[in-house]
Structure 1
């Protein structure tokens, strides 16, 4: 499939799945934190707002990450430098890959090779990336990354890469092989299965979908319904049927409607219960009407009193009172003018007028019956003190009478009488006790209803008192709140309605209908009490629906279908042919392995490695040795690589172990063949593999670039020259000459004791160099220690160059420098040669080798 088509296909997938693919391509493995974040993204895509997940954003696959799958590209790695935060790597120099197509990087265990391979796996991609930790002996590194030097189609580039960047689109063309990255593995059925990297990537996506789905399933199961079970007796009611159908589509308005419960509903429920419990409806109706009469009478009394004490009536009363006061004031002023010289004050006052009228009554009815008051003729006496009246007293009495009979006084008295008449019309407000008896008789027990009536009673009493005393005229202009009277009217009407219902009940037997209405009312009351549970149930159902929608976003059908299509594309007849050819080249044909399609499963298309001669049906994994398994893994890897058009680097991390020695030489030859079309980089800790690669490369006229990584005091992974053991004799002699000069400086500056350590090392290395000279130069490479075969072609005739002087020289030097390798007697230890002696021996050996190399074989 074309890369662009595959990228377009991913863009049509759920956003969370695109992000999962991006993370897998970047890191290879997903952590629990990744799975949790992907679940949050999946839930948000389904409409579920996630707490603490607002900062998360789904990202798609970066363009070009999959491009190496089908694009022709020439890529060469040149260096890794400025490594930070990766294991214990902190090299001061860059790791160079040289300009040749074969690079061999040697390092002992713990030297840092694997750390470099981890960097390459994370930047270039591999089946199993593994974790990359910083130096565990130091605080966690804030930055993890490095710089890559490389060329693409002849153009040099430098990339500043950090671990969080994941797979880089251009570097993704690099293939990295180690045992875990192999495409051959043992499946759960204990069969040896084959799965190319892209198919394995799709399989991992399927597994991620399953992991997220399990998280969602757990959350769905946690959404337990807490809605109370509807009592069976309410199942047939209208509200009961609604309750049983509550779903995600139930609106808030419906809930408010069906869960509403008012005082009226409570009254209806009580009435229905009472009706059903009543044995004699006719008597009940009569009793209700008696109760109603108490309410009606009380309401009418209060209404009449309220009418009399209305603002209009109060205004009339206040006007009459004000008129009487005004006229009395006028009469008093007139009396003051008339009697201002009277010996006593208060003439014309209320008490004076009362006294005057009593005197009149006594005079005309008893003292001077038949004579108009005041009697002042002859020897008349004062009717109050019975003293004879003097002339001035008689005149004063006549003046008093004229005042009383005057117009102002008459008007004042008339106004005052009118006020008295109005006061007589004021009704008496019934007492609390009287009203309480009425309410008791009417069956009104609700405290708030009783209090409302008593409050009105207090208002009316206060208005009456205020009207009489004139102390609250301003308040009397306000209307009387008649809500309590209206309440009594409503209660009275309600009693009448109940009475009518009982009349109907008495007229016909309708207990079944009453029972139905009662059940409906009781169901409504019960459901009104479940409102909080209903709201919670709807929220739970909505949550489950959203989670199920998120669960649907984890469906793996599309992934499985695409993987099946890709499997048909990758595992073709041509691939199977390449697999068999690679088996032959690697010397593994005898195993009889073949790739066959064995079926398909969820997100997986199975291709098994089977053995042709396995007649007993024993699982392949139980037949293959570990070495055979590894060589089959390498075979599948090479068959996949050779099927691509791109000329890109291939990195091998110890492709051969001690378990694979039977295949070592064939594997080495195959790696060297790959150098013709690819840059091949081999990391190894095995000198034998290094030597074999050198020899195989020499046969193909390929000059390998050999370097090493060392563990130094400041870090691991420090690039170093090729290991001494891997150097050719000529290069080894030059290296030793350099080391002699370094030792000479120690000799001169620090003395013999300090000199002995580097001198001992030089002697030991010279001894090894002599062995290599015997193998490579004297014996022309016919036999070598790390090689099993004896090579004679074009070599045996070179043995004729050997003379007795050659053997004497080499035997002499071997004996001399072997002595420094052994323990010395304590009494006569052998002195190590000084710098001059070492240099002389090396130059002598160098001169001999150059001469021997130029010498022609004997005729």
Structure 2
């Protein structure tokens, strides 16, 4: 598709789309005012007023608004993890930067900052230092960038993702994006400007739609309410069926004096209001009487002949048992001591012996102790054995009197009697029932009903107070009153039926319908203006509906898919195939296919070739290392499609890779550094050494080590793992860092941290001097090859003094990094001592160089 074809197609779209294209071409974004204008254009077009907007000869297919840039440094980090504040992490803008650090030194913190700056798809939350009780501060940093050759410093609020648009073109590879390439469909992170425009217009379409819907909700809908009694009238049906196309005839809604007179005359003829009022009154009276009848029905079972006989029988049994208990009491009195006679009426004394009985039954009996009413039994109160026969006999009398069968029968029969009595239902107050009867228009029956209610109230009060001796439940005829109430209900039901039949008379029904029609017309006459406004509202809603349809993105999505095939997909797939071949030597057969386009976004996914089960996901088949290298191929395919230079950021790209794949990936990273800034974070020294070995002289390389201590992470240091002049690095350490420490308060945490850092650096530089200088670069840790050409002969010149010097310095400056026994004395190095050691190391290195040059 040519640019002219695209312009022609766009000029055929809705007005707001054409306006959006011109706006985005000139500004690169949409403001709220733009969205409101687009909504107004949709609405005007829906009303039939379409203004003309011409795109002219703008070049949409080849516009490029991106800038070449590189990150030079990140510094002054505040409030992110435990990353050191006031430190500066510098990068090589024209080559490759390798940032090495062990686990937990702060690499992830820097990666998260960069992802936040770029507003990366898989950015992660930036946390405060979780090991300190610090209050929530703003998270920020300063970033020095070089944009089209011009350096500038950007103040970055890390609470705002993608605050500066320049960072949004950064390509970042980490585990999350690696997994996304394999497991999900993804849109290309880089795309020509035209795709960004379509995507933003698709997003704006949603905002325009929301604005139109908001305006609809703000419109007064002028809802029309038709009373239920008019719903079936011609006017009621007409009002309920009003739509946008409804034409209102004002004459139908005219209400005049003659209509009012006609309505009044017909109402008199039908007498409808009085009849309806009568029906309403009777309905209410019937309801009240049924409630009263239900109330008395609750007592019918209680006062039934069978229940009264049961209550009387229970009372008789209780009285009989009480007589037997009285007789037993008299016998007990005749044989009891004077004290026992006085105690018979004492409740505490009775409770004491009843508890003694329970104590024996529940505990002593289970332990095999003889009952206290038998010879050689044990008293449950004092625990003494009962030997005296008279005492045993006394115990028997007490037990029989208090805990014997007679006493048990008395308690049981009393309980049964009281339980039957207390089944008495809840009663209404006299006043409540009297008011309800008055409302029911009851005649002489009222006295009978209230008289019965008084008797029920008396019985209820006596039962609640346990005044059982004065209760006589006989002579209460509940059924008689219930029947009287039933007769009243039936009488009122018949009266109601007659009134309703009056309204159902054909002549009356006809008259009622005429009256309802007139009343409905009268009601509608007051709604004429509102009805017209309702019609206008419905018309507006239809117009808004058409306007909202103009915001549909299906045409944009179809066009972006077609353009994607031409401008992205074919080239993207070709680059992926080349990258995969380059990184795997053809050992993994995978391909990139285009998925669905949604809202102007083209999706791609990776599938494996040659599978019988085509639904299998690559993540279920490939090993972890294979998934990593395939996702790297997809990442490089995307990144290499850019026409401008911007940073490539990698977080442990060789994680899970074997040596073969690791070598291929390192080679690809170095190739990328020929045209783009490459920044690699890694915890593997083999990668640091591998990149250094692979880099040709034309590619600049910078090494950075991240150091940490228990309280501070991510302290940048010039790498000792990248070859370079150790002497120069030691002099920089003395002249810059050591000099800065001399200006600090030696009791401050900053001073201690700086001394710790200097000692770490000295140890690292001594280690590196062993590899580079003493061993003449023959063996480098983590380098796969051993380089011996013209180097081996020097080894014979290493003397015991060299070995002693190295051992001394390594032991001395490993103090801060190695665990020490508790009895190890605390070592504190003075700055003068450290400076002397640095000078001695430099002197030793110079002397080694002289010896190597003279051999």
User: Match for residue 797 of structure 1?
Assistant: 789
- Within 1, Cα distance between the matches of 2:751 and 2:742? 6
1:568 aligns with 2:565: yes
Measure the CA separation in 1 of the matches of 2:80 and 2:19.
Answer: 30
CA contact under 8 A between 2:91 and 2:702: conserved in structure 1? Answer: yes
1:837 and 1:554 map into 2 onto residues whose CA distance is: 76
Match of residue 177 from structure 1: 172
1:95 Cα offset (Å): 5.2
SS of the aligned residue for 1:705 comes to strand
Shift of 1:564: 0.3
> Alpha carbons of 1:65 and 1:712: their partners in 2 closer, same or farther (altered >3 Å)?
farther
Listed as ranges, the matches of 1:632-647 within 5 Å are 632-646=630-644
Q: What SS does structure 1 have at the residue aligned with 2:632?
A: helix
Aligned ranges for residues 96-115 of structure 1 at < 5 Å?
Answer: 96-98=90-92, 100-105=94-99
Shift of 1:208: 8.4
- Secondary structure of the structure 2 residue equivalent to 1:786: coil
How far apart, CA to CA, are the structure 1 residues paired with 2:513 and 2:755? Answer: 115
Distance 2:575 2:687 in 1: 25
Larger radius of gyration: 1
Deviation at 1:784, TM superposition (A): 3.5
Q: Sort the Cα spacing of 1:274 and 1:44 in 2 relative to 1 into closer, same or farther, 3 A.
A: same
1:804-855, Cα deviation, whole Å (9 max, x unpaired): 3316455334443455457889999799995587357514531244236536
Work out the CA distance in 2 between the residues paired with 1:224 and 1:769: 80
Q: Which residue in 2 is equivalent to 1:680? A: 678
Q: CA deviation at 1:568?
A: 0.8
- SS for the counterpart of 1:267 is helix
- TM-superposed CA distance for 1:609, in Å, is 0.9
- 2:574 is aligned, of 574, 577, 599, to 577
Secondary structure of 2:792's counterpart equals helix
Task: Output the TM-score relative to the length of structure 2.
Answer: 0.52
Alignment of 1:591-630 (within 5 A): 591-598=588-595, 605-617=602-614, 618-630=616-628
| Deviations 1:30-84, CA, capped at 9 Å, x for gaps | xxxx9x9999998777769xxxxxxxxxxxxxxx999997579654444556778
- CA offset at residue 640 of structure 1? 2.4
User: Distance in 1 between the 2:116 and 2:566 partners?
Assistant: 26
Local SS of the residue matching 1:616: coil
Q: Is the 8 A contact 1:654 1:685 kept in 2?
A: no
SS class of match (2:700): coil
1:269 aligns with 2:266: no
Aligned length: 585
| Residues 377-407 of structure 1: per-residue CA shift (max 9 Å, x gap) | xxxxxxxxxxxxxxxxxxxxxxxxxxxxxxx
Q: Measure, in 2, the Cα distance between the counterparts of 1:717 and 1:762.
A: 15
1:714-733 pair list within 5 angstroms: 720-724=716-720, 726=722, 728=724, 730-731=726-727
Show the counterpart of 2:313.
none
> How do 1:400-799 and structure 2 match up within 5 A?
520-528=517-525, 541=538, 545=542, 548-549=545-546, 551-587=548-584, 589-598=586-595, 605-617=602-614, 618-646=616-644, 648-656=645-653, 658-660=655-657, 663-684=661-682, 687-697=685-695, 699-707=696-704, 720-724=716-720, 726=722, 728=724, 730-731=726-727, 734-735=730-731, 738=734, 742=738, 768-779=764-775, 781=777, 783-787=779-783, 789=784, 791-792=785-786, 795-799=787-791
- Whether the 8 Å contact between 2:580 and 2:633 is mirrored in structure 1 is yes
C-alpha separation between the residues in 2 aligned to 1:830 and 1:134?
32
Give, in angstroms, the shift of residue 550 of structure 1: 6.2
2 CA distance for matches of 1:233 and 1:46?
41
Any conservation in 1 of the 2:16–2:39 contact (CA below 8 Å)?
Answer: no
Could you tell me how far apart the structure 2 residues matched to 1:591 and 1:762 are? Answer: 47
Q: Retained in 2: the 8 A contact 1:105–1:708?
A: yes
Instruction: Indicate the RMSD between aligned Cα atoms, in angstroms.
Output: 6.3
Structure 2: runs of 5+ lacking an equivalent = 45-57, 273-506
CA contact (8 A) 1:234 1:520 kept: no
Does the 8 Å contact 1:192/1:608 carry over to 2? yes
Residue of structure 2 equivalent to 1:811? 803
Distance in 2, matches of 1:232 and 1:758, equals 91
For residues 760-814 of structure 1, what are the alpha-carbon distances to aligned partners after superposition, in whole Å with 9 as ceiling and x for unaligned?
9777655544443443345554544334x2x25xx32234223333164553344
> 2:242 is matched with which residue?
246
